[in-house]
Chain A
Amino acid sequence: MPTLACPDLGQFDFREEDILSFPEGVPAFEALRRFLLLRKEEYAPFVFLASVDLPVVRFICIPVCLVDPDYRFELAAGEGAAAGLADGVYSASTGDPLVLAIVTLPNSASATANLASPVVLNVGLHAGAQMVLPGTAHSHVTPLRARAAVESTC
């Protein structure tokens, strides 16, 4: 069984079918096409999206529904094709696709989440993509406030 050694997080055994395919990579890391979604009890509800091929590229993520239970976004003109998602309106609270926000954590008192470009994971297809939503009212640097994580599930 292959193992991913993730800096600070430790070793993770994984199966080939656990690998999430990102056909377009993610912006600024377009060459990285294979990611694993890693969870550790002590960091819940945060999860980690780690590159299989370059494990130092590891995003801290939070389910968007914990930040904004009413979060919705629209995919048009085939924007969701990389993740195998048809055009339409999606809610962050359905669980499939799993909608994550990448968290930036310069210090423990000022975490932000990127709600303008959610990462969507098509659970059934093991495929994902970061959606760069045009004209969204959401911010790339949404403060992660108290409301952000009151619930540990959505």
Chain B
Amino acid sequence: MLVFRRKVGEAVMLEDQIEVQVLEITGSRVKLGFSAPPEVLIVRKELYLTQEENRRAVACSASGSLTRLANALRPTASPDPQGLAGTLE
């Protein structure tokens, strides 16, 4: 990981058009400002991960998920390294 030390008001550039500026530091919190073209999607990482996981959950949910759920719930289901089967009797 590339590491910079920056003070309030200082910034870094990501390629030619994306600027990340340190706006404020309060205790353990840092306020960052982003300047980028509108097509660049900027979200908090935890939101990004949630969006990705929700898309994945729906995709899995759409394709035969209920069969898999039924299998997972069946006590005698085949090999079950995660230990999900057999716990819901």
Distance (whole angstroms) from the CB of A10 to the closest CB of chain B: 10
> Which residues 38-56 in B have Cβ within 8 Å of A in the complex?
44, 46-47, 49-56
Bound state CA distance, A152 and B59, in angstroms?
26
The answer, among A57, A104, A136, for a CB contact under 8 Å with B56, is A104
Chain A 21-52 interface mask (CB, 8 Å, partner B; 1/0): 00000111100000000000011011000000
Query: Any chain B CB within 8 A of the CB of A121?
Result: no
A117 contacts across to B, CB distance below 8 A: 46, 49-50, 53
The digit string for A79-107, where 1 denotes a CB below 8 A from any CB of B, is 00000000000000000000000111111
Is B87 touching A146 in the complex (CB atoms < 8 A)? yes
- The reply to whether A144 and B82 contact each other, CB–CB distance below 8 Å, is yes
Q: How far is the CA of A117 from the CA of B57 in the complex (A)?
A: 13
Interface residues on A, range: 35 or more
Instruction: Please name all residues of chain B whose beta carbon is closer than 8 Å to the beta carbon of A9 when the two chains form the complex.
Output: 66
Chain B residues numbered 59-86 whose CB sits less than 8 Å from any CB in chain A = 60-62, 65-66, 68-73, 77, 79-86
The answer to whether residues A134 and B44 also contact, given A28-B51, A140-B49 and a CB cut-off of 8 A, is yes
B68 shortest CB reach to chain A, Å = 4
Which residues of chain A come closer than 8 Å to B62, judged between CB atoms?
Answer: 7, 56, 58
Q: Range of interface residues on chain B?
A: 35 or more
Closest residue of chain A to B54 (Cβ to Cβ) is: A28
With contacts A28-B54, A102-B53, A104-B56 taken as known, whether A42 is within 8 angstroms of B47 at the C-beta atoms is no
A150 within 8 A of B: yes
Which residues from B are CB-within-8-Å of A105?
57, 60-61, 65, 68-69, 72
The answer, yes or no, to whether A145 is at the interface (CB within 8 Å) is yes
Of A29, A102, A109, which is within 8 A of B84 by CB? A109
Contact A43 B66 (CB under 8 A): yes
Q: Is the beta-carbon distance between B72 and A108 smaller than 8 angstroms?
A: yes
Which residues of chain A are within 8 angstroms of B80 by Cβ–Cβ distance?
A: 108-109
Please tell me if the beta carbons of B44 and A43 are within 8 angstroms of each other in the complex: no
Residues of A within 8 A of B (CB): 7-9, 26-29, 42-43, 45-46, 56-60, 102-111, 114, 116-117, 130, 132-134, 136, 140-141, 143-150, 152
Q: A140-B53, A149-B87 are in contact. List 18 more A-B contacts (CB 8 A).
A: A8-B65, A27-B47, A27-B50, A28-B55, A29-B58, A57-B58, A58-B61, A59-B54, A59-B61, A60-B65, A104-B60, A105-B60, A108-B69, A108-B84, A111-B84, A114-B50, A132-B44, A144-B84
